[in-house]
Structure 1
């Protein structure tokens, strides 16, 4: 709720949130509890122009949200509360979905992944994308971001992704490594990744 209040003051329409971890609970019960917590936060911030986006996760440890089906279950529960459906959506993280096992590397894999997202969640729910390559292989369930084109997802896959019609008008945020060789944050890293992504977009 604190983050929603801050976002409201700053004029930010969405707060991105990881759905949490199951711990020792059965995943379905944990997902329902996570959805109840998100619904409570939305109810207690009624009147604000701020919503919450559930972020797709890599599934590291017992983290929830690694499957589109699990996120769909949470959304369905939140939608059942009157007045909340317009304030809930999804943030898709490319590193996370890849690490969770979804394919992005070929046209066929990307089509299957995006079709499943649309079928279970719906593109209308996709409000923002975290654009990151992955240090680890597909299905590793390890959340380690890498510079665009320098990880296991690769430049070709990002070229396919950036030109998929479903993401053409979706805002994207870079969460790629920002430290230079000296360990200090280097703005040049972000500029390079942004240039690479923009260069992959086909002229329409």
Structure 2
């Protein structure tokens, strides 16, 4: 069974997120557990934590279908040790907030080498940072999102994700989220049955579906392999309907959060309904 939703607003408090998800008939959702553009945030209030937990129970959400997204300032592969420490400490804080909310996953962009060190060195620093986060949290799983390959960002190759995971000590607490726009921008074609199957077979061989914990389902403004991270609404970009049909009928993607981050939130309910219309399940 597919669990489709969107990255909804938590403006006014994290307890608003389940309400916003329910309002668009989402069966899964993503959220930020603090301001994604700032390092600091006040602690979660107990009343807000309890309200969030009560709402996900009331609305029937399973925590494995909720995929929080870590803040944009975090760079777990920063070559400068002080800045990297600031990043993994921020990640520890966000992961701790997720655990307070009873959540089990947190999605993060792997990191950037900033053209100061090699990709291989950066991969090692990212894994080391994840090990620090694991050592300072109870149970949260770090979910690494593939990237489009813009600038100095790591994660645009499935091999990058594999290599980071290989260096993480607790492999039961690490996973991967595939962003369809990012994958397409990085050169992984998803538009036809043949190319989709090739991309997914490559993912299975290189990373492994046992590590797949979520999908960010986005169309792409730009064409294949241009390394431009620009999300678009479904059917308004370059991916085409067949891509989304294949995703909605791929049983390997059952029972994980499939999260829209498309650019027009006013049509998320329509996009969710459209995606379910493609499913033969």
Query: Within 2, Cα distance between the matches of 1:112 and 1:64?
Result: 22
Query: Could you tell me which residue of structure 2 aligns to residue 113 of structure 1?
Result: 199
* 2:155 is the alignment partner of 1:76: no
- 1: CA distance, partners of 2:124 / 2:104: 25
TM-score for the superposition, normalised by structure 1: 0.89
- For the aligned residue pairs, the C-alpha RMSD in angstroms reads 1.1
CA distance in 2, matches of 1:159, 1:123: 19
Contact 1:149 1:158 in 2 (8 A): no
- CA distance, structure 2, for counterparts of residue 95 and residue 11 of structure 1: 29
* TM-score normalised to structure 2 length: 0.65
Partner of 1:183: none
Q: Structure 2: 5+ residue runs without aligned partners?
A: 1-91
- Asked if residue 190 in structure 1 is aligned to residue 268 in structure 2, the reply is yes
Runs of 4+ in 1 over 6 A off after TM superposition: none
2:99 corresponds to which residue? 8
CA distance in 2, matches of 1:22, 1:108: 34
Please tell me whether the aligned partners of residues 13 and 50 of structure 1 are also in contact (alpha carbons under 8 angstroms).
yes
Higher relative contact order (CA 8 A, sep 6+): 2
Which shifted more, 159-168 or 57-66? 159-168
Q: How far apart are the structure 1 equivalents of 2:203 and 2:258?
A: 17
Alpha-carbon distance in structure 2 between the residues aligned to 1:132 and 1:102: 14
**Deviation (angstroms), 1:126:** 0.5
Shift of 1:43: 1.4
1:88 and 1:101 map into 2 onto residues whose CA distance is 24
Taking the TM superposition and a 5 Å limit, the aligned residue runs for 1:26-175 are 26-45=118-137, 48-78=138-168, 81=169, 84-175=170-261
How far apart, CA to CA, are the structure 2 residues paired with 1:112 and 1:156? 15
2:279 corresponds to which residue? 201
Structure 1 stretches lacking a partner, 5+ long = 179-185
